[in-house]
Structure 1
Amino acid sequence: MVPLSFAPFPFAGQEWLLGPARALVWPAEQALLVADLHLEKASWFARTGQMLPPYDSRETLDRLTALVRHTGARRVFCLGDNFHDAHGPARLDAGAADRLTALARLVDWVWITGNHDEKDGAAAGTMLPELTVGGVMLRHEARPGEPLPELSGHFHPRLRVAARGRTVSRPCAVMSERKLILPAFGALTGGLDAAHPALLKAMQPARSITALVPTAARVAHFPLWQAAAA
């Protein structure tokens, strides 16, 4: 059963569910979609002398495992940058590696490769550069001009809103008529302003672009860009 914190919204003629867990549920495909796990990011920084608590992969896997259980998903699509670098899988500790393998064997698991990923060698599941499912293109980075409705990640969008004299920043999805970019799921992923020109350019062509922020009861829509009237 999908948690009550997931709220519905329409995209590409279908209903989708977005929650504060930074994941997307696709009811028609019984699927859970996440982007930009960046597993083993902390250990990558440690190699350069920047010491961070080495628990980011376990935290990310804990949240992902809980979502698979709560949603009852039969399919999981990870939309790229699954590890922070090509050597990340080798740095994953044995306990976390076993958990990830077991999780990826529990359901129909697809790893979409991103710019941080190796192109082959998934421990479990299927690894692909992109995939079309139910008439929707799944890839890591949005491709301007893609004719199909498209789901992607890569940009780690966050909505920044000024409120009561301070700026509030929240992970968000970004949607146009034919494109939907997911927030980053990983524990140490940071984010890019949802209204950044590079992100808006990746959403083209579009008539309007909107940030989607899930609340307890609904998905709030925040306009980011509107095409000039002809």
Structure 2
Amino acid sequence: MDGHGFTFFGAALTARGSGALWWAAERLLVVADLHLGKAERLARRGGTLLPPYETRDTLARLEAEIAATGPATVLCLGDSFDDAAAAGALDEGDALWLTRLMAGRRWIWIAGNHDPGPVDLGGSHRAEWQLGPVVFRHIAQAGGRGEVSGHYHPKVRLSLRGQSLARPCFLIDERRVILPAFGSYTGGLASHEAVLSELMAPGALAVLTGPAPRALPMPRAKGYSKPRSTTSG
């Protein structure tokens, strides 16, 4: 299957090139930070205008992941909508598209900081959700173990032929996994920023998304030094 396979607290997981996380044994597909309705929210608040098709692009990629993996459960790790009003403002066609994707499978919405309240859609709504030893939440917690989260939209900055490029990535260590944002036009936080260097243990990996996912040592804040953790999964 397309992606980087790894074991996390006994679970065989795959960081897929799309930015989704796949747990094959549980038929669980996890995505973070869809930010559906971002263009509508910015227009509503008089902000920078984005192309109006970002929601459809995100839904099309999500549909492709569902077709490729055949999940029994889809788990959305918070900030699924760009704000609390965005779900109600979905275009009718987009709302029907999302409803079709949800049909015939369990769908779990984790609350995020952009969409803290329940949305007027099907599925179940949780603050966090646990499956076996793995807990799924929107924002990583200090001291968390067996934790899968989103929120930070991690990216790695690369230099290629004198040009600086940014690629969304998974961050993985022995205690936690942080997913990239799945939504279109979501931006991101470079892995070398201090908050991510503080969260991730020494030896953490960054798995770049794209057609050929690639794992490399996570770039850290310049001069950053952190004591090595003795805990493991």
TM-score of the aligned structures, taking structure 1 as reference length: 0.90
Alignment match, 2:155? 158
Alignment match, 1:70? 68
CA contact (8 A) 1:35 1:154 kept: yes
| CA displacement at 1:197 relative to structure 2 | 0.5
Alignment match, 1:87? 85
RMSD between aligned alpha carbons?
2.0
Alignment match, 1:112? 110
Which letter maps to 2:44?
A: R
Query: Larger % of strand: which?
Result: 1
Which letter maps to 1:149?
A: G
Deviations 1:100-136 (CA, angstroms, capped at 9, x unpaired): 1222233111000100014224411111010111210
Which letter maps to 1:73?
A: P
Which of 199, 215, 219 aligns to 1:220? It is 215
Aligned length: 224
| CA displacement at 1:14 relative to structure 2 | 2.3
SS of equivalent to 1:180: strand
SS of equivalent to 1:145: coil
Alignment match, 1:174? 171
| CA displacement at 1:215 relative to structure 2 | 6.2
CA contact (8 A) 1:113 1:128 kept: yes
Deviations 1:144-171 (CA, angstroms, capped at 9, x unpaired): 112x300000000001122321212111
CA contact (8 A) 1:24 1:34 kept: yes
Distance 1:138 1:229 in 2: 24
TM-score of the aligned structures, taking structure 2 as reference length: 0.89
Deviations 1:61-113 (CA, angstroms, capped at 9, x unpaired): 11111111111111111000000001001110111111112222331110001
SS of equivalent to 1:17: strand
| CA displacement at 1:19 relative to structure 2 | 2.0
| CA displacement at 1:218 relative to structure 2 | 5.8
Alignment match, 1:34? 31
CA contact (8 A) 2:7 2:13 kept: yes
Which letter maps to 2:88?
A: A
Alignment match, 2:205? 210
Which of 44, 47, 67 aligns to 1:47? It is 44
Which of 2, 15, 20 aligns to 1:18? It is 15
Deviates more, 1:15-24 or 1:178-187: 15-24
Which letter maps to 1:201?
A: E
SS of equivalent to 1:132: strand
Deviations 1:2-33 (CA, angstroms, capped at 9, x unpaired): xx422312222322112221111111211111
Quote the sequence identity (%): 41
Which letter maps to 2:26?
A: E
Q: Evaluate the alpha carbon distance shift between residue 6 and residue 39 of structure 1 in structure 2; reply closer, same or farther with a 3 A threshold.
A: same
Alignment match, 1:190? 187
Which of 113, 133, 140 aligns to 1:135? It is 133
